[in-house]
């Protein structure tokens, strides 16, 4: 039996971002109206930094604008705005569950979020004691990039305490790092007909990666990757495995999430790459490779080779392998 929109009285929708306007159409107002239509009993908070004026039945939070980050990285420019407005909105919510949606999206129909959350988002609390459940997020093919720990900020849903760990309110000062894709990963993606996912992959560090790394730290998950080093295929394997453990993914088309800026990809196989990658990363071989990499790094720190020449050869060889 599906839950109707009337069952969402214990859910708050946090609409985050600048008030979005496309031509003469106010997209943020359209988002509010879609929530009222499909999730009628839910609470609504708009958390922004530009005052939209009073809106009936909606809590408005006008945050002090932290401004853009002083960086040349276009993918990290508005991280602080995104983080602060979302964190403030979640903090003001008074319900058990919180949904976060960007202000330039709206719902084109009802999706049984609560029902799917209860089915798919169970988490091993012995392994992850600091989480109540997985975080639900939407995906489409544009997110299938070979960036480790790249998650979607379009739509997130979870228990309030878990959402506060994801959107923890911590701001950053600058971004001076790059995140390059491995050539072997690019080859694999292109070989299965996903060359559109491989375009422009060698970008600077993304806000979504910083968001994810902060979340992992908050829930006590240690990973190899940091924002200060070049990523490798091992980081990618570790990423898919951990994200599969901590997030449940819903197809954007099924969620009925619409945007004027990010057009809908109507292909029916929207999530098959994600699902394949998560399964592959959970394989014995993939986990063994990551383990070997970790052991090697430990030995690098603890063991002193007698031969400088031998050490140099080993490092060059491993550098070549790890960057495949």
Match 């109507």 to its residue by tokens: 266
Which residue in 84, 140, 111, 162 sits closest to 8, CA to CA?
Answer: 111
Residue 80 inside a domain? The answer is: yes
> CATH number, domain at 10?
3.90.550
What does DSSP say about strands 257-259 and 105-107: parallel, antiparallel, or unpaired? antiparallel
Residue 237 inside a domain? The answer is: yes
- Counted domains in the chain: 1
C-alpha to C-alpha distances, 41 to 35, 219, 296, nearest whole angstrom: 9, 31, 54
What does DSSP say about strands 155-159 and 97-102: parallel, antiparallel, or unpaired? antiparallel
For residue range 63-107, what is the model confidence (pLDDT) as tens digits?
Answer: 999 988 877 767 788 899 999 999 999 999 999 999 999 999 999
Residue 287 inside a domain? The answer is: no
Check if the beta carbon of residue 44 is closer than 8 Å to that of residue 12: yes
Residue 13 inside a domain? The answer is: yes
pLDDT computed for residue 285 by the predictor: 62
Which residue in 18, 69, 262 sits closest to 176, CA to CA?
Answer: 69
Residue 302 inside a domain? The answer is: no
What residues does 138 pair with on adjacent strands? 250
For residue range 156-189, what is the model confidence (pLDDT) as tens digits?
Answer: 999 999 999 999 999 987 655 555 554 445 554 4
Q: Provide the residue-wise pLDDT of the chain in tens; the chain has 324 residues.
A: 345 556 899 999 999 999 999 888 999 999 999 999 999 999 999 999 988 888 999 999 999 999 888 777 677 888 999 999 999 999 999 999 999 999 999 999 999 999 999 999 999 888 999 999 999 998 876 555 567 888 999 999 999 999 999 999 999 876 555 555 544 455 544 444 444 433 444 455 788 888 999 999 999 998 877 766 666 677 778 888 899 899 999 988 899 999 988 776 655 555 666 776 777 767 766 666 656 655 555 455 444 444 555 555 555 555 545 544
List the domain range (segments joined by +) for residue 260.
5-282
Residue 55 inside a domain? The answer is: yes
Distance from the first to the final alpha carbon of the chain: 48
Check if the beta carbon of residue 63 is closer than 8 Å to that of residue 49: yes
CB within 8 A of 185, min separation 6: which ones?
Answer: 146, 233, 236
pLDDT computed for residue 193 by the predictor: 43
Residue 320 inside a domain? The answer is: no
Residue 36 inside a domain? The answer is: yes
Q: What is the pTM of this model?
A: 0.79
């Amino acid at each position: 039996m599906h839950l109707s929109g009337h069952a969402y009285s214990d859910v708050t929708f946090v609409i985050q971002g600048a008030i979005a306007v496309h031509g003469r159409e106010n997209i943020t107002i359209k988002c509010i109206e879609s929530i009222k239509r499909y999730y009628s009993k839910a609470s609504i908070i708009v958390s922004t930094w530009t005052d939209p004026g009073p809106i009936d039945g909606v809590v408005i939070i006008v945050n002090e604008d932290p401004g853009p980050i002083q960086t040349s990285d276009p993918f990290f420019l508005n991280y602080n705005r995104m983080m602060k407005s979302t964190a403030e909105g979640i903090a003001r919510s008074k319900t058990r569950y919180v949904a976060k949606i960007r202000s330039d999206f709206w719902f084109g129909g009802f999706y049984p979020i609560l029902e799917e959350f209860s089915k798919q988002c169970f988490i091993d609390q012995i392994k992850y004691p600091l989480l109540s459940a997985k975080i639900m997020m939407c995906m489409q093919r544009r997110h299938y990039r070979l960036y480790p720990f790249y998650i979607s900020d379009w739509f997130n849903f979870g228990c309030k305490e878990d959402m506060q760990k994801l959107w923890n309110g911590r701001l950053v000062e600058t971004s001076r790092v790059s995140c390059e894709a491995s050539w072997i990963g690019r080859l694999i993606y292109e070989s299965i007909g996903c060359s559109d996912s491989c375009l422009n992959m060698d970008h600077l560090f993304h806000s979504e990666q910083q968001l994810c790394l902060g979340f992992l730290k908050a829930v006590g998950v240690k990973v190899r990757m940091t924002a200060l080093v070049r990523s490798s295929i091992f980081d990618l394997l570790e990423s898919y495995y951990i994200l599969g453990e901590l997030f449940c993914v819903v197809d954007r088309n099924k969620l009925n999430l619409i945007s004027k800026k990010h057009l809908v990809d109507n292909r029916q196989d929207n999530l098959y790459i994600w699902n394949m990658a998560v399964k592959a990363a959970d394989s014995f071989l993939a986990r063994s490779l990551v383990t070997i990499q970790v052991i090697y790094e430990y030995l690098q720190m603890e063991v002193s080779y007698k031969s400088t020449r031998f050490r140099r050869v080993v490092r060059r060889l491993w550098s070549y392998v790890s960057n495949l």
